[in-house]
Amino acid sequence: MSPTEHDPTDSEVSTRPPRPSSNLLNQGSDAGPSSTPDLSPQDLSSSKQEPARPTRSLSTRGTSASKRPGRFLASELRLIIGRRRNQAGLLVLAAVPIIMAIAGAVWGSSGRGADLMSLAQGNGVLVPLAALGVEIAMFLPLAIAMLSGDAIAGEANQGTLRYLLTVPVGRTRILAVKYLSLCIGALIGVGTIVVAGLIAGGLLFGLGPLTTLSGTQLDLGNTVMRLLVGVAYLTCALGAIAAVGLFVSTLTEQPIAATIAVMIFVIVCTILGAIEQLAWLHPWLITSHLMAFADVLRDPLPLDNMLRGLGIFASYAVVFWLSAWARFTTKDITN
Amino acid sequence: MSEQPALAVATHGLTKTFGAQVVVDNLDLVVPYGAVYGFLGPNGSGKTTTIRMILGLIEPTAGDRELLGHDRPIAALPRIGALVEGPAFHPYLSGRANLVRLDAVDATADPRTTRRRVDAALDRVGLMAAAAKTYRQYSLGMRQRLAIAAALLAPRDLLVLDEPTNGLDPQGTREVRNLIASLAADGATVVVSSHLLSEIEQICSHLGVISAGTMVAQGSVEEIRARQQTTAVVHTADPEQAARVLSEQGLTQIESGRDTARGVADDDHPPEQLVAALVAAGVGVRGFALERPSLEDLFVELTGEGFDVAH
């Protein structure tokens, strides 16, 4: 085909009345530079042009694909953040450090002395860490379980999955974007707790140099760095749970079922972690490694526990992500 | 790339089994470019499964598909607008936000023209006034329109519309019909499925009739009409004699009843000539008629049941 095929006087127009290319929305898309008369062939094949042949049009539309690779992810995050239920969930996550700080300020130390909350009364910086310690056991996994229920099962349940697939969006791309958005959701959840904790702790106890469990003092810059390490570590832990959630989400069309399944997974892991006779199993459980983030309170920062945890998280993420992929890319979408 | 595929949609031996149940059996779909292809069959006959296989939502058990010259659905899908088994959108987003969402996930869509294309699509289905309402508040008819708008977000060569008139009132049905006709006039190939022939008969250039997963008739409307035989019916007191005359005139499948005789006539047998021959042979003709079954009759005959029996 010559590049002049866009010419409306093309003789093929008369020989083949049913043109394969339609101009459904032509009015809306023919503005811009393509209306200038002296165009190079490349300009003619811009995505705004109405190409005469579907095969050609596919390739020209493809050129604009790389322009905004993050559009799907941005749209996904807007969906997650825009949903009322998720906003309410964030409020609950943020409420915990605030309640803990207020309780500590009003009623004082529990008397046991060594717990994070007692330490926090000397320094607001410890409030977010204390809150993370409380929420990583239940609330944060629950938040990820809910988001991963929505991810594939929710879209399948609503029927929007079939319309995503016919746009088309490749199945691997859907999984990748969904997983990435779950991880960003985890970061937002953990970050919200830290920010709320810092504000509440700062207002009630003030923010000062941190005295570590090892007895040394850290300046504010170092303290913030320690907090960020803790945030990153727990986000990775939740990322591993999110991979489990993504896999479960490809197995069912009921988002609630997926959420419950993920919570059962977390609870069973916690129970197994509490059974002494199963000590050999404990290193392999996600839940055994969650509290390693508290190492950020030691000086010098011991990394071995957290690195071991990250190794386990990465293994879970890879295994369950690939399981999700194997399942989703071969699944018949029948709803 | 310059080779023009002859067919917009072609399947060869397309088969899908779910467990022991054969839902679609060895289906050869033939949809030429520019056709408005009515895909007809009772509910549960395998229409939607076929459409899902064409669109790549379901993997066929056997057989292959060709869409706009591509043998992998995903390669052709950017040029296909689809409505599959009713509308489905995010309930807490507005109609417009839902379309923007679908455009955002489309890697081939140009984000600079999103707004214009979304507005044009909403306008085309008459939803502009309700664009800001959440999908949850939409009536079934509005939801159906939004789904059609989603299929029109980008220029399309092929529209695959599964039961687009489901849930619409008679006026909405007529509007959808007009919309399909105007899309076809713009050059798009349209595959429209229905379990009601009457809803789409007027706009179709081609028909495919599926029953229990098998294609029982397919072709242009003229071809299918031509398959229907015209029967000459003579009312007379002497059916034996009338039958003999019809036979002499070259009619086939002669039958005679108590006071009628009938035979299958083709275009070589003008009715006036038949009547003249009957009268000349001394048959007392009380009545004479040429009977031709309607398309609807044909489909009921082909699919073995009324179109809404399985409803």
| DSSP letters spanning A129-185 | HHHHHHHTTTHHHHHHHHHHHIIIIIHHHHTHHHHHHTTT--HHHHHHHHHHHHHHH
**Residue B311 belongs to a domain:** no
Would B27 be classed as within a structural domain?
yes
Number of domains into which chain B is organized:
2
Tell which residue, A292, A317, A287, A312, has the closest CA to residue A140. Answer: A287
Answer yes or no: is B101 within a domain. Answer: yes
CA B256 to CA B274: how far, in whole Å?
16
Contacts of B150 in chain A (CB under 8 A): 163
Q: Are B206 and B36 in contact (CB under 8 A)?
A: yes
Looking at the domain assignment, is residue B299 inside a domain? no
Q: Which of A105-119, A227-241, B27-41, B142-156 has the lowest mean pLDDT?
A: A105-119
Task: Say whether both B219 and B242 belong to one domain.
Answer: no
Residue in chain A closest to B189 (alpha carbons) equals A20
Residue B148: closest C-alpha in chain A: A163
Beta bridge partners of B80: B158
Closest in B34, B78, B117 to A25, CB measured: B117
**Overall average pLDDT of the A171-200 stretch:** 97
Q: Which residue among B32, B117, B186 sits closest to A28, beta carbon to beta carbon?
A: B117
Beta bridge partner(s), residue B32: B7
Q: Do residue B33 and residue A84 have CB atoms under 8 angstroms apart? A: no
φ/ψ of B17, rounded to 5, equals -120, 140
* End-to-end alpha carbon distance in chain A: 41
| Interface mutation vs chain B, best among A13, A75, A166, A172, most B CBs within 10 Å | A166
Cβ neighbours around B179 below 10 Å, total? 21
Shortest distance, CA A17 to any CA of chain B (angstroms): 8
CA A82, CA B47: separation in Å to the nearest integer?
Answer: 37
Look at strands B80-83 and B158-162 and give their pairing: parallel
> How far from A200 is each of A79, A89, A186, A210, A218, CA to CA, in Å?
29, 18, 21, 16, 21
Preceding peptide of B164 cis, ω within 30°: no
Residue to mutate among A47, A58, A72, A83, with most B CBs inside 10 A, is A58
Distance between CA atoms of residues A223 and A202, nearest Å: 14
**Measured between CB atoms, does B55 come within 8 Å of chain A?**
yes
Q: Are A244 and A320 in contact (CB under 8 A)?
A: yes
CB A186 within 8 A of CB A140: yes
Please tell me whether residues B177 and B269 are part of one structural domain: no
Report CA A200 to chain centroid distance, whole Å.
26
The CATH number of whichever domain residue B14 belongs to comes to 3.40.50.300
B108:A65 CB<8 A = yes
Across the A:B interface, residue pairs with CB atoms under 8 Å apart total 179
Selected residue with higher pLDDT from B172 and A69:
B172
Three-state DSSP class for residue B136: helix
Collect all residues of chain B within an 8 Å Cβ-Cβ radius of residue A50.
155
Both B95 and B209 in a single domain?
yes
Facing residue for A21 by CB, picked from B2, B121, B187: B187
CA distances from A320 to A167, A246, A249, A271 (A): 26, 8, 11, 21
Looking at the structure, tell me whether residues B257 and B115 fall in a common domain: no
Region of B136 (left: φ > 0; alpha: ψ -120 to 50; beta: rest) is alpha
Alpha-carbon distance of A184 to A178, in angstroms, equals 10
CA distances, A111 to each of A127, B13, B305 (Å): 17, 78, 81
| B58-75 b/e (C-beta count within 10 Å ≥ 16 → b) | bebeebebbbbbbeebbb
Is position B118 within any domain? yes
Q: Does one domain contain both B179 and B277?
A: no
Query: Which residue of B58, B117, B155 is in closest CB contact with A332?
Result: B58
Instruction: Number of helices (H) and strands (E) in chain B: give both, helices first.
Output: 11, 14
Look at residue B75 in the predicted model and tell me its pLDDT.
92
Average pLDDT, chain A: 82
Q: Read off the CATH number of the domain in which B286 is found.
A: 3.30.70.100
Same domain, yes or no: B82 and B220: yes
- Nearest CB to B59; choose among A18, A82, A332: A332
Beta bridge partners of B18: B21
Peptide bond preceding A168 in cis form (omega within 30 of 0): yes
> Chain A residue closest to B179 (CA)?
A24
Helix (H) / strand (E) containing B18: strand B7-18
User: What's the gap in Å between the CA of B46 and the closest CA on chain A?
Assistant: 12
Q: What is the pLDDT of residue A40?
A: 39
**Which residue in chain B is spatially nearest to A51 when comparing CA positions?**
B155
Q: Please name every residue paired with B219 in a beta bridge, in sequence order, or none if there are none.
A: B207
Cβ contact, residue pair B155, A29, below 8 Å? yes
Domain membership flag for residue B306: no
Q: Which residue of A has its CA nearest to B116?
A: A28
Full pLDDT tens readout for chain B, 311 residues = 444 457 999 999 999 999 899 999 999 999 999 999 999 988 889 999 999 999 999 999 999 999 999 989 999 999 999 999 899 999 999 999 999 999 999 988 999 999 999 999 999 988 999 999 999 999 988 999 999 999 999 999 999 999 998 878 888 888 888 989 988 998 999 999 988 888 788 889 999 999 999 999 899 988 888 877 788 888 988 888 888 888 888 888 888 888 888 888 877 778 888 888 888 888 888 888 888 777 777 777 777 754 444 43
Among residues B116, B69, B224, the alpha carbon closest in space to that of A27 is found at B116
The alpha carbon of residue B33 is apart from the nearest alpha carbon of chain A, in Å, by 6
Query: Exposure string (b/e) for A225-241, b if CB count within 10 Å is 16 or more?
Result: ebbebbbebbbbbbbbb
3-state helix, strand, coil in chain B (%, to 5): 35, 30, 35
Q: What's the confidence (pLDDT) of residue B34?
A: 92
Q: What is the pLDDT of residues B17-26, one digit of tens each?
A: 998 999 999 9
pLDDT given at position A34: 39
CA distances to A295, B8, B11, B64, B73 from B30, rounded to whole Å, are 67, 8, 7, 13, 16
Q: Are residues B93 and B191 in the same domain?
A: yes
What 3-state class would DSSP assign to B231? strand
- Tell me which residue in A21, A28, A58 faces B78 most closely, judged by beta carbons: A58
Q: Which domain holds residue B158?
A: 7-225
**pLDDT score recorded for residue A42:** 39
Is B197 a member of any domain?
yes
What is the residue whose two structure tokens read 């010259």?
B69
Question: Using one digit for the tens of pLDDT, what is the confidence trace for A83-94?
Answer: 999 999 999 999
pLDDT of residue A68: 62
Q: Is the dihedral of CA B268, B273, B275, B278 positive or negative?
A: negative
Interchain CB distance below 8 Å, B79 and A167:
no
A233: its two tokens = 């570590």
Distance from CA of B295 to the nearest CA of A (A): 25
Same domain flag for B99 and B148: yes
Helices (H), ranges, chain A? 12-15, 26-29, 41-44, 54-63, 71-82, 84-107, 116-120, 126-135, 139-149, 155-158, 160-165, 171-205, 220-251, 255-274, 304-328
**Nearest Cβ partner for A29 among B74, B117, B187:** B117
Contact B55 A165 (CB under 8 A): yes
Give chain B positions within 8 Å (CB) of A24: 124, 152, 155-156, 183, 186, 188
Distance between A155 CA and the closest CA of chain B, angstroms: 9
Strand arrangement, sheet containing B230-236: B252-256, B260-265, B230-236, B285-291
Last residue of a domain, one of B198, B225, B252: B225
| Interchain proximity A24–B152, CB inside 8 Å | yes
Residues of A in contact with B144 (CB under 8 A): none
User: Maximum CA pair distance of chain B?
Assistant: 82
Q: Nearest CB to B104: which of A59, A67, A72?
A: A72
B99 shares its domain with B151: yes
Q: Are B122 and B95 in contact (CB under 8 A)?
A: yes
Q: A164 to chain B: nearest residue by CA?
A: B102
Rounded Cα gap, residues B128 and B124, in angstroms? 9
Q: Are residues B155 and B236 in the same domain?
A: no
CB contact (8 A) between residue A55 and residue B117: no
Residue B95 within a domain? yes
Same domain, B36 and B119: yes
- Report chain A residues whose CB lies below 8 A from the CB of B206: none
- With 70 as the cut, is the pLDDT of residue A116 above it? no
| CA-derived radius of gyration, chain A | 27
Tokens found for residue B172: 């909405």
With CA atoms as reference, the chain B residue closest to A5 would be B2
Hey, are the CB atoms on A59 and B1 less than 8 Å from each other? yes
Q: Is the same domain home to B143 and B40?
A: yes
Q: Min CA distance, B126 vs chain A (Å)?
A: 14
Q: What SS3 state is found at B270? A: coil
Residue from the list A17, A23, A56 with its beta carbon closest to the beta carbon of B155: A23
Q: Which residues pair with B67 in a beta bridge?
A: B9, B70
